[in-house]
Amino acid sequence: MKVYLVGGAVRDELLEYPYQDSDYVVVGATVKEMLAQGFRQIGKDFPVFLHPKTKAEYALARTERKVGAGYKGFQVFASPEVTLEEDLMRRDLTINALAKGDEGLVDPYGGVADLKTKTLRHVSPAFKEDPLRVIRVARFAARYAHLGFSIAEETQALMEEMGTSGELDDLVAERVWQETVRALGEKTPQEFFKVLRKCGALKLIFPELDALYGVPQPVEYHPEIDTGVHTFMVLEQAAKLSKNVVVRFAALTHDLGKALTRPEHWPSHRGHETKGLVALKQLTTRLRVPNEFVDLAAKVMEFHTHCHRAFELKADTLLKLLESLNAFQQPRKLDNFLLACEADSRGRLGLEDEEYPQAQWVKQAYFAACSVQAEEFVSQGLTGKKVGVALHKKRVAEIQKLKPVGV
């Protein structure tokens, strides 16, 4: 029995890149032997075990063979006869097909050379058997693009072939979202979607985003003109402003409604804030996106132009905006909303470093409104709806007293 550290931990250790999880492959062992040593088996499909003390994952060396359609159409073969090289061959990229054991580094497929040249290259033609690998390559591009990594020409060609052959139709929604949310948390999440678009996968997986390309916007507000270009610029700015993937997703989807504007009305997009809610629901339902993401994305989509015009809003309208965001019950949601709106403002060509004083103004209004609480009116003997009416009226009055700061 031999144990090897494999995959991401080895890769990132060589890159001197931070990592958290360590995965191991065990060669020459059986399930019975692993259980006898105190390992706990998890899952039914794969021979994977948790270490009795560290809880790290240990998998028996295995091979895979595609026997049907989609990600679930794989049959796993694990036995003591499977070699480490055979196990590593089933992995997606050469930089992930690395192992480290007592004898040192094991690199049968040139992963170290590709790390040095900063290349994302597939291990073998078996890459084509799993459509999820296209999305994984895009995620690794998002992870390492800032280090100068790029996709090998032959891998790019294979991904483009998969993007047009219908093989991506078999992708499972949960796995797509799992990779997407991980990509949103990477250093340059916009690269994930750019890679998918280049290989033709974006229009299959995220058609609502792909439809934004070629849709013009008014040049006086959007020097970059193209809505698709703007969208990924916004995501880039969101990644600089916040590590929160919920904020980044809201920034990514805020303008979906512009793809629904009739061409004869271009470059104007009147009402895109509410039109986009239909497209957002389609996307999030299809990928089974968690409610936390959906809720903020819908708020940013519907109210981001209100925020941009915050200095023009009457006190009553500003308070209604805060109420619509549920800011008084969930103040963190307000912070996330403002971050996404700021990213939208900065995600324009030549305006990436512009200040966004609207956020501070909205926060001023929020704190002024918070100075008035319902208890004040309950103590006066008001009940029911009268409390809400009085609360709203006095909060409006407090906001009216404000003078914008930083303008």
pLDDT at 69 over 80: no
- Assign 68 a pLDDT band (cuts: 50, 70, 90): low
Whether pTM > 0.85 for this model: the answer is yes
Which CATH architecture is the domain 118-205 placed in? Answer: Orthogonal Bundle (1.10)
Q: What pLDDT, on a 0 to 100 scale, did the predictor assign at position 74?
A: 62
| Strand-pair partners of 78 | 62
pLDDT at 199 over 70: yes
Instruction: Kindly report, residue by residue over 328-383, the tens digit of the pLDDT.
Output: 999 999 999 999 999 999 999 999 999 999 999 999 999 999 999 998 898 988 88
Q: Where are the domains of the chain?
A: 1-110, 118-205
Instruction: Kindly report, residue by residue over 312-333, the tens digit of the pLDDT.
Output: 999 999 999 999 999 999 999 9
Contact (Cβ atoms closer than 8 angstroms) between residue 293 and residue 334: no
What residues contact 393, with CB distance under 8 A and at least 6 apart?
none
Contact (Cβ atoms closer than 8 angstroms) between residue 173 and residue 73: no
User: Distances in Å between the alpha carbon of 157 and those of 83, 151, 200, 310?
Assistant: 30, 10, 11, 47
What residues contact 298, with CB distance under 8 A and at least 6 apart?
277, 280
**Measuring CA to CA, which residue among 73, 55, 58 is closest to residue 26?**
58
Tracing tokens 């001197």 back to the chain, one arrives at 16
Q: What is the mean pLDDT of residues 229-248?
A: 98
CB burial string 150-186: b at 16+ within 10 A, e below:
ebbeebbebbeebbeeebbeebeeebbbebbbbbbbb
Contact (Cβ atoms closer than 8 angstroms) between residue 246 and residue 231: no
SS3 call for 356: coil
Instruction: Kindly report, residue by residue over 11-25, the tens digit of the pLDDT.
Output: 999 999 988 888 999
Q: CA–CA separation, 108 vs 128, rounded Å? A: 20
Instruction: Kindly report, residue by residue over 124-162, the tens digit of the pLDDT.
Output: 998 998 999 999 999 999 999 999 999 999 999 999 999
- Tell me if 1-110 shares its fold with 118-205: no
Which CATH architecture is the domain 1-110 placed in? Answer: 2-Layer Sandwich (3.30)
